[in-house]
């Protein structure tokens, strides 16, 4: 069986790996993102995930990587072992040198864009598929996925998800080698679960996609033949498809269960609330974060990352909506089901983001990667039909967009050169993010800029008054500046919020001993 799988893989690569398209995308990607090879660490999680874990990130330690949480720290509920394995592979060859990690980021991004081309070109015009894959490849919203080492998670998420979709598509549409396509689809889906937790929503999208494709195929078969015998065969096929549908649901559920069992083992000992409590809390968070979809929706066309007010956000949203409507109206290809599927996928893919961010002060532009691929798939299907009006004008507009996006991307990448440019850029985009303010505060403190660090920590406390780490970190800054009474005040506040934290208890004990020795 293994020999057959390898044989099928060789046949697939030979028949479908378009080397010309791949090289063209490689030239664009390396020309645009090549300067990131010389960028330093940004200290936006790369410090705690890579720099502080050099002894942990070893390929010989894979067993522990799969049995530990993502950050491998007390209270951490993340679980992304395959992402940590990618860091471990880079660490093996590059150590603390960021060059090797940035090379990997660019290569992952390149293969992701090529996988988008594979999906778009399947049963579609290859020229339009290449154009839209290229638009995604130069999109300014995806700068962080290449320039920031830890944000390769979104590239890997998109790569494995798109390929999983692609092989599900082939499994549904083709009659030959269906078991081979199903195996690849499930393998890629199981893999993506271990890359980023948000992928647990993919089975819902797979399910809707399967029903959408199968119903479309049956309609075409019935429309093309009025023969009673054909209608009878279609009825038989429907029964087979029903069993196939149940089998797929079982296999998807099995993959998720395997992932959840591994995750539960890694999170063993971490306090877990009841499922009902979690569900109710999630509903509250989602309802409070629905406005995030407005910004992400207009980011599909307008790569605006600066913090804007409600009027500007709504204006960009309306303009983006009208552009999509104009495209759909001007093409004779009006597949309403496909449009609804894309919109449904776009919303579903952002639900985990809305759940994980219990406030609207953390905006992660790179999370638009996979939802963007879903929405652009509709545009590919619209544009590839020869009936589209004003075709030459459309081509000119798309070429302009590629050049315009590339220019913005090239200059926006500069913000990721080092820790200072990265934090000033993040603070500009999300000034109300408690995480960015707190992290930047500690970075300033390490550089001896204590007054600026104090202001950042005070801002973080104002935005997130229930986070004990902010108080503890501010107390540590006051210790360094010999403001011991103020340090005691913030240490005690941190203790009230979390009396079990070892670091807080150590700081309070040390401070008490200091006062005794006065």
Q: CB–CB of 340/272 below 8 Å?
A: no
Q: Do 32 and 409 form a contact (C-beta atoms < 8 A)?
A: yes
Which pLDDT does position 78 carry in this prediction?
A: 82
pLDDT confidence of residue 435: 86
- State the pLDDT at residue 279: 47
Q: Long-range CB contacts (< 8 A, 24+ apart) of 353-358?
A: 353/198, 353/292, 354/285, 354/286, 354/289, 354/290, 354/292, 355/282, 355/285, 355/286, 357/289, 357/292, 358/285, 358/288, 358/289
Integer CA distances (angstroms), 108 to 111, 156, 160, 277, in order: 5, 7, 11, 38
The DSSP element (H or E) to which 310 belongs, if any, is helix 310-329
- Residue 244's CB is within 10 A of a number of other CB atoms, namely 17
Check if the beta carbon of residue 262 is closer than 8 Å to that of residue 66.
Answer: yes
Distance (Å, rounded) from C-alpha 86 to C-alpha 425?
Answer: 26
260-280 in b/e form (b: 16+ CB < 10 A) is eebbeebbeeeeeeeeeeeee
- pTM higher than 0.75: yes
Instruction: Check if the beta carbon of residue 460 is closer than 8 Å to that of residue 442.
Output: no
pLDDT of residue 418: 93
Count, in order, helices (H) and strands (E) of the chain: 24, 0
Distance, C-alpha 226 to centroid of its chain: 47
- Among candidates 518, 494, 465, 460, which has minimal Cα distance to 506? 494
pLDDT of residue 254: 96
> What is the full per-residue pLDDT of the chain (518 aa) written as tens digits?
556 656 665 565 555 568 888 999 999 999 999 999 999 999 888 988 999 999 899 988 999 999 988 888 776 778 999 999 999 999 999 999 999 999 999 999 999 999 999 999 988 888 889 999 999 999 999 999 999 999 999 999 999 999 999 999 999 888 888 899 999 999 999 999 999 988 988 999 999 888 887 766 555 555 555 555 445 445 556 777 788 888 999 999 999 999 999 988 888 765 554 444 444 555 555 555 667 788 889 999 999 877 667 788 889 999 999 988 888 877 766 677 888 888 888 888 877 665 555 444 456 788 899 999 999 998 888 776 655 555 677 788 889 999 999 999 999 999 999 999 999 888 887 888 888 899 999 999 999 999 999 999 999 999 889 999 999 999 999 999 989 889 999 999 999 999 888 888 888 888 887 676 66
What is the separation of C-alpha 150 from the centre of its chain, rounded to a whole number of angstroms?
Answer: 11
């Amino acid at each position: 069986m293994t020999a057959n799988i390898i044989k099928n893989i060789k046949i697939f690569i030979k028949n479908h790996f378009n080397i010309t398209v791949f090289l063209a995308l490689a030239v664009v990607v390396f020309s645009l993102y090549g300067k990131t090879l010389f960028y330093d660490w940004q200290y936006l999680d790369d410090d705690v995930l890579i720099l502080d874990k050099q002894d942990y990130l070893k390929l010989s330690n894979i067993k522990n990587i799969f049995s530990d949480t993502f950050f491998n720290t007390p209270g951490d509920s993340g679980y992304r072992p395959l992402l940590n394995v990618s860091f471990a592979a880079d660490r093996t060859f590059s150590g603390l040198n960021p060059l090797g990690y940035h090379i990997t980021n660019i290569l992952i991004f390149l293969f992701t864009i090529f996988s988008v081309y594979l999906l778009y070109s399947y049963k579609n015009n290859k020229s339009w598929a290449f154009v839209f894959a290229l638009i995604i490849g130069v999109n300014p919203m995806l700068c962080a996925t290449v320039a920031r080492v830890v944000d390769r998670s979104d590239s890997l998420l998109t790569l494995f998800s798109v390929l999983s979709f692609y092989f599900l598509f082939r499994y549904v549409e083709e009659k030959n080698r269906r078991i081979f396509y199903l195996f690849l689809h499930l393998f890629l889906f199981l893999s993506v679960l271990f890359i980023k937790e948000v992928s647990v929503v993919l089975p819902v999208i797979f399910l809707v996609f399967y029903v959408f494709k199968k119903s479309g195929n049956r309609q075409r078969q019935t429309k093309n033949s009025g023969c009673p015998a054909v209608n009878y065969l279609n009825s038989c096929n429907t029964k087979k498809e029903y069993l196939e549908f149940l089998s797929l649901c079982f296999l998807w559920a099995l993959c998720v269960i395997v992932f959840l069992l591994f995750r539960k083992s890694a999170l063993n000992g971490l306090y877990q609330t009841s499922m009902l409590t979690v569900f109710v809390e999630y509903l509250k968070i989602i309802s409070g974060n629905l406005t995030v979809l407005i910004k992400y929706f207009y980011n599909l066309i307008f790569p605006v990352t600066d913090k804007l007010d409600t009027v500007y956000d709504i204006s960009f949203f309306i303009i983006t909506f009208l552009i999509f409507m104009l495209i759909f109206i001007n093409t004779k290809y009006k597949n309403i089901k496909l449009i609804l599927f894309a919109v449904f996928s776009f919303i579903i893919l952002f639900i985990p983001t809305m759940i994980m961010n219990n406030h609207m002060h953390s905006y992660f532009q790179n999370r638009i990667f996979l939802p963007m691929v879903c929405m652009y798939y509709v545009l590919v299907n619209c544009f590839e039909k020869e009936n589209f009006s004003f075709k030459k004008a459309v081509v000119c507009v798309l070429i302009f967009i590629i050049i315009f996006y590339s220019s913005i991307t090239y200059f926006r990448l500069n913000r990721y050169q080092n820790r200072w440019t990265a934090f000033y850029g993040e603070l500009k985009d999300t000034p109300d993010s408690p995480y960015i303010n707190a992290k930047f505060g500690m970075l300033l403190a390490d550089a001896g800029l204590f007054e600026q660090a104090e202001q950042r920590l005070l801002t973080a406390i104002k935005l997130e008054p229930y986070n004990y780490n902010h108080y503890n970190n501010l107390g540590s800054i006051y210790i360094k500046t010999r403001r011991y009474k103020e340090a005691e005040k913030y240490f005690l506040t941190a203790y009230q919020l979390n009396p079990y934290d070892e670091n807080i208890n150590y700081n309070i004990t040390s401070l008490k001993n200091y006062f005794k020795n006065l």
